[in-house]
Structure 1
Amino acid sequence: MQQLTVCVLLASCAWTVCAAAGDWCYQSQFTCDHQCNTPDKWNKANSNCAGKNQSPINIVTRKTVKDKTLIPFKFINYEQKFRTSIKNNGHSVQVVLPHLTTISDGGLPTTYKAVQFHLHWGNNGGPGSEHTIDGEQYPMELHIVHMKHHYTDLGTALSDPEGVAVLGFFYKRSVGANRKYEPFINALGSIRATNANTSMSGISLTQLIPPEQNLTNYYRYKGSLTTPGCTEAVIWTLFEDPIPLSMEQLQLFSNLQFHDRKPMVGTFRPVQPLNGRQVFRSGSAVILASSALLVAATVTALGLF
């Protein structure tokens, strides 16, 4: 009991200890031995994290507004296989992407080129996505980060209120393993420790995300980076169609380690207030829903159900 009391006292003053160092962490990392700025104290690590347009958010689907400008994306070189490095950066898994990979249309103001992708996950396949849909938290979330095509570095792009576009994808548990993910999943064993990295080849973005014909249903809002410095310069796109991974594949991410060698789990920021922002949806979702209702009505009318 005495040890618990000491830990509670340390936790209560952790923000004063950490504010000077600017050390930020996820809730799963905070212990009596490792005091750091947990997500509710990230503004102590970087004042931007107390902004009014922060990410992630909970998307309440019935409150979204249809936007006809949210047409299908144009994906360039997403199918191109590349060789790159994969790294445990102490907070996530990060993969550098070739800038020849771009996106346009999809209601974006210009063409954006790929920079990197990383993921956020829970504990051994449990809830771990950053964004939630109607309160549902998925096991994991993929962020493919792009910047406006004329910028040469992400830091400069973040000084532009629309300089960065992130494509977000949710994951769902599947019965069988997703074989398309094998090159990526197999590389995780080589980067368990913080700052460990290894090369990865023979992989494309196309094989990591749903088929292009399933990428017409998505949500859009203006937000921020989901880690400090929480810069509010991101156009967020979140796709409805989740990516399947087996429980065994999802659990492998929890074998990675934070800098103190503890399991890298719970790597997500809690949802942030909307503060009056509007979330938009592409038109396809409504069309598909209407089609489904029409089919159901037809089947019922014909007595086939």
Structure 2
Amino acid sequence: MKCLISFYLLTLILHLSSSADWCYQEQANNDVHCIGPELWKEVNAQCGGTRQSPVNIATKKTVLDERLTPFNFTGYQNLFNGTIKNNGHTVEVDVSQNIMAAVSGGNLGDTYKPLQFHFHWGTDAGAGSEHTIDGEQYPMELHLVHIKQRYNSLEDALNDPSGVAALGFFIEESNSTNTNYDQLIQALKSIQNADNITAIRNISLSQFILSEDKLTKYYRYNGSLTTPNCSEAVVWTVFENPIPLSREQLLAFSSQLKLSDGNPMVGVFRPVQSRNGRLVYRSSGPAVLASALLLLTSIITAFSLSHLN
């Protein structure tokens, strides 16, 4: 009897996998024809791998890595014209053809170029980030996706265990409006339905993230894409300092956008995955520079005093 039940369950899963799209848990709760995160491995076997993302970052268990130095951002200030699309699961800004920019340093081991950035969020400005810090979720998370400069496409990069570098930024609720996001949020009105796309002009990558002096504290681990095919080819960097958006700005995403099935686009995040023994490393941030300056000051002072005596 148990074998018969298992056979029918497997048949159902295979049928769903061939006839339905993957979706997030909130959708899966309301639609038996879409495949939620727990069954993504039936959509693509890689989603059941041992190096999946996102993860919970338990700060006391992170390992200090002095090699995690500040990044070198090139061209992030350059203005460009891009497109923003409702892809049925989130909003995505394509920058691959429109900007000469790159990131290196931070022990990435290579130079990476940006492809796109997108967001994950919850419901009514509630918990919605993919990564968590000590079990706590932020309202949103921004992912800026890069591939190694020598690759021509994401598909090429996914064949390399470190072909993709994803920069993750938490987004928190603020009492004031972040004017750098005004144009993007205004554009949401034009892409309310799945597959809608519109132009977004004269923007820069730097306006959507923090200033470089606030990007020295971060976490690093080896993981995957957080949507199917869940390819385990991603070097993850998750920054400690969050980006501020007002409550009204946060609500613009969940109140205006619709999923592929026409329902509100809410709860668009993958639950945290097991680390399976992976270590999460942390940078020393500005403390290294501060310590070096303090040491240099002490040496200069001692040298000066010795000459005065």
Q: TM-score, normalised by structure 2?
A: 0.87
SS at match of 2:141: strand
**Are 2:64 and 1:66 equivalent residues in the alignment?**
yes
CA distance in 2, matches of 1:68, 1:87: 39
* In structure 2, C-alpha distance between the alignment counterparts of 1:263 and 1:205, rounded to whole Å: 27
Query: Which position in structure 2 is the counterpart of 1:38?
Result: 36
Corresponding residue for residue 246 of structure 2: 246
For residues 1-305 of structure 1, what are the structure 2 equivalents within 5 Å? 15-21=13-19, 23-31=21-29, 33-97=31-95, 98=98, 100-254=100-254, 255-284=256-285
The one-letter amino acid paired with 1:121 is: W
Output the CA distance in 2 between the equivalents of 1:247 and 1:34: 32
Seen in structure 2, the aligned counterparts of structure 1 residues 113 and 99 have a Cα distance that, compared at 3 Å, is farther
Deviation at 1:224, TM superposition (A): 0.2
**Counterpart code for 1:212:** E
Q: What TM-score comes out, normalization by structure 1 length?
A: 0.88
Unaligned runs of 5+ in 1: 1-10, 291-305
Native 8 Å contact 2:75 2:99 kept in 1: no
Describe the shift of the 1:22–1:120 C-alpha distance in structure 2 as closer, same or farther (beyond 3 A): same
User: Counterparts of 2:31 and 2:180 in 1: how far apart (Å)?
Assistant: 40
Q: Is the 8 A contact 1:124 1:252 kept in 2?
A: no
Does structure 1 conserve the Cα–Cα contact (< 8 Å) formed by 2:161 and 2:232?
Answer: yes
Q: Post-superposition shift, 1:21?
A: 2.7
Alpha carbons 1:14, 1:37 under 8 Å: kept: no
- Which amino acid in the other structure matches residue 76 of structure 1? T
Provide the aligned length of Structure 1 versus Structure 2.
280
Residues 29-38 or 105-114, more deviating = 29-38
Q: Where has structure 1 moved over 3 Å in runs of 4 or more? A: 11-17, 31-34, 285-290
Q: Say which SS state the counterpart of residue 85 (structure 2) adopts.
A: strand
Consecutive unaligned residues in structure 2, runs of 5 or more: 1-8, 292-309
CA separation of 1:286/1:152 partners in 2, compared to 1, >3 Å: closer, same or farther? same
- Deviations along 1:200-234, one digit per CA (max 9) or x if unpaired, are 01211111111110000000000000000000000
SS in 2 for 1:268: coil
Q: Structure 1's 81 and 99: CA in aligned 2 closer, same or farther, altered over 3 A?
A: closer
Residue identity over aligned pairs, in percent, reads 52
RMSD: 1.9
CA shift at 1:99, angstroms? 5.0
Structure 1 CA distance, aligned partners of 2:188 and 2:289?
A: 37
State the distance in 1 between where 2:274 and 2:179 align: 37
For 1:42-83, what per-residue CA distance to the aligned partner results, in whole angstroms no more than 9, with x for missing partners? Answer: 001100000000000000001111111110000000011110
